[in-house]
Amino acid sequence: MPQSPATPLPSPKERRRLREAKSLSHADLAAKIGVTSETVRSWEMGRTTPRGRKRETYAKLLTANASASTSTSTSTNANANPKERAATPTFEKAVTMTVPETEPVPTPPTPPAHTHPLRTKPAHGTTRSTSRPQPAAKRAAKPPAPARMTPPPIPLPTPNGHIRPLPVRVTRPQATRPADQTPAQAFDALCALCAPGLVRQTYLLTGRRGLAHESVERAFQLAWQRWPEVAVDRDPAGWVRAAAYEYAMSPWHRFRPSQRHPDAPPAEPADRAFLDVLLSLSPAQRRTLMLYDGIGLDLPETAAETEASTPAAANRLLHARETIAGRLPDLADPEALHRRLAEVGRAEKLRLPKADRVRTGSEYRARFWTRAAIAFTALIIGATALTLKNAPTHYEPPQAPGRAISGVPPRMGPGPLTYEDTTLREKLRAHLPNGQERLTPQAR
């Protein structure tokens, strides 16, 4: 019997946007579904996917939020004036759209003029223009309409009253996978495209070359294990980047013996000073600074990847920039900071993970943990069987504890001696034990 298809869900970023459009927190949405807030946060990050009735409830809530936000925005735009709609800021990327020179620009058709309702039709065989002719002078003085206007960048609004607007940088489009590639070829292409940049980024986040290589390699191994999920993701590079950042910035690395001693600093004094300032920031500020100024994500995407709100991400970014500008005044400009991050990352010689070794290591790790799970399960089954075999088959009542018996005199020891017994003892000690004295021969 075929199973019914699962309820479709929007992308993880769209889930977060729909929830914020309804002004719902993670706890509010989790209470409506019957899960924890951490589960909802994991759904929005794309790490897990709801199933069963929770998936249907989650999809209905998101659909309701989407329809409510769409109807609200439509009614607001219909009632607002054109000037007010143009001045209303939105959380969108400031992308400048251009038209290629070879693309023909379509000419908009001239709208027909409105005719009077009482105007009669022209007679048969005659033609009457329904539009009022314009004077030739006005037509000649009227400037031609431009082919297509380039919209100005949309300024990012302030998340709250004390945060100034932040510049937004345009991200590069993601490469699409051809349809004729095999999964291994597509994974190798993704690894060759993203591995060099990820190794440099994780090095700037941790300051350790070996940990940077290990983090990126572990992230690609995890991506190969979940390749059916990663291949259909809207941003496979972002999926791998989030996994690499999470592994690299895990606080458990401090307990590893290999991470107790710091790595050798960069050779250049300027690079060494910049890396020291960067590592003095908190992990959250470092990650936010790398995503926004290093990679070029916009503020909402940076907040979603760091699992924080947009105002919190903006505050982290501002504090990180102020700290770096206070110790290195030359990097007060965000563009200079962006170039400096790229220069320091390219200056180091870092090992890059190889795609074939990553796939082999991922498969070996999967086989190892599968066999370990099977062995552990067999051990539990054997211990349970041995316990059942040696367990008693009938009930044996426990022995009752001992009880004191009354009426029996206690056992007595020897008492004190009387006068007669003492006299007799002294008399016996005074005499020799062998009777009378023996005769001793004497010489004459």
Per-residue pLDDT of 150-166, as tens digits, reads 444 434 444 433 344 44
Q: Coil, helix or strand for 419?
A: helix
pLDDT in tens, 349-377: 888 888 888 888 888 888 999 999 999 99
pLDDT tops 50 at residue 139: no
Q: How far apart are the C-alpha atoms of 339 and 319, rounded to whole Å?
A: 19
Backbone angles phi, psi at 371, to 5 degrees: -65, -40
Residues in the chain: 444
pLDDT tops 70 at residue 282: yes
pLDDT tops 90 at residue 241: yes
pLDDT of the residue at 45: 82
pLDDT tops 70 at residue 102: no
pLDDT tops 90 at residue 247: yes
pLDDT of the residue at 385: 95
Q: How far apart are the C-alpha atoms of 289 and 338, rounded to whole Å?
A: 9
Tell me the CA distances in angstroms from 126 to 115, 121, 132, one per residue in order.
17, 10, 17
CB within 8 Å of 413: residues ≥ 6 apart = none
Mean pLDDT, residues 113-119? 38
Long-range contacts of 5-10 (CB under 8 A, 24+ apart): 6/51, 6/55, 7/55, 7/56, 7/59, 8/59, 9/49, 9/50, 9/55, 9/58, 9/59, 9/62, 10/62, 10/66
pLDDT in tens, 388-404: 999 888 888 888 888 88
Least confident of 80-84, 183-187, 429-433: 80-84
Q: How far apart are the C-alpha atoms of 362 and 368, rounded to whole Å?
A: 10
Q: How far apart are the C-alpha atoms of 401 and 83, rounded to whole Å?
A: 95
The candidate with the shortest Cα–Cα distance to 247, out of 199, 279, 294, is: 199
Q: What are the residue ranges spanned by the domains of the chain?
A: 12-80, 183-353
Mean pLDDT, residues 177-184? 74
pLDDT of the residue at 40: 86
Architecture of domain 183-353: Up-down Bundle (1.20)
**C-alpha 214: how far from chain center:** 18
Q: Among all chains, which residue has been given the structure tokens 């069963």?
A: 52
pLDDT tops 90 at residue 281: yes
**What would the two tokens of residue 430 be?**
């005074």
Q: How far apart are the C-alpha atoms of 24 and 388, rounded to whole Å?
A: 53
Q: What angle do CA 405, 408, 413 make, to 5 degrees?
A: 125
DSSP 216: H
The candidate with the shortest Cα–Cα distance to 242, out of 216, 221, 275, 280, is: 216
DSSP run (H or E) holding 183: helix 183-206
The candidate with the shortest Cα–Cα distance to 217, out of 346, 357, 367, is: 357
pTM: predicted TM-score of the whole model, two decimal places: 0.51
- Where does the pLDDT of residue 387 fall: very low under 50, low under 70, confident under 90, or very high at 90 and above? very high
The answer regarding whether domain 12-80 maps to CATH 3.30.565.10 reads no
- Where does the pLDDT of residue 67 fall: very low under 50, low under 70, confident under 90, or very high at 90 and above? low
Q: Are 327 and 275 in contact (CB under 8 A)?
A: no
- Where does the pLDDT of residue 66 fall: very low under 50, low under 70, confident under 90, or very high at 90 and above? low
pLDDT of the residue at 71: 53
Q: At what angle do helices 209-225 and 236-248 cross, to 10 degrees?
A: 130
Q: Are 348 and 203 in contact (CB under 8 A)?
A: yes
pLDDT in tens, 307-341: 899 999 999 999 999 999 999 999 999 899 999 99
Where residue 52 falls (left for φ over 0; alpha for ψ -120 to 50; beta otherwise) is: left
Helix, strand counts (H, E) of the chain: 17, 0
CA atoms within 13 A on the CB side of 87: 5
CB atoms under 10 Å from CB of 172, counted, come to 8
- Where does the pLDDT of residue 89 fall: very low under 50, low under 70, confident under 90, or very high at 90 and above? very low
DSSP per position, 402-414: P-PPSSPPPPP--
Q: Coil, helix or strand for 21?
A: helix
Rounded to the nearest integer, the mean pLDDT of the chain is 75
CB within 8 Å of 250: residues ≥ 6 apart = none
Q: Are 202 and 253 in contact (CB under 8 A)?
A: no
The candidate with the shortest Cα–Cα distance to 300, out of 158, 96, 91, 95, is: 91
pLDDT tops 90 at residue 291: yes
pLDDT of the residue at 161: 35
The candidate with the shortest Cα–Cα distance to 213, out of 368, 353, 38, 414, is: 353
Q: How far apart are the C-alpha atoms of 68 and 75, rounded to whole Å?
A: 11
Q: At what angle do helices 52-79 and 12-21 cross, to 10 degrees?
A: 60
- Where does the pLDDT of residue 131 fall: very low under 50, low under 70, confident under 90, or very high at 90 and above? very low
Q: How far apart are the C-alpha atoms of 43 and 246, rounded to whole Å?
A: 16
pLDDT of the residue at 437: 63
- What letters, b where the CB count within 10 A reaches 16 and e where it falls short, cover 116-148? eeeeeeeeeeeeeeeeeeeeeeeeeeeeeeeee
The candidate with the shortest Cα–Cα distance to 242, out of 230, 253, 252, is: 230
Q: Are 305 and 291 in contact (CB under 8 A)?
A: yes
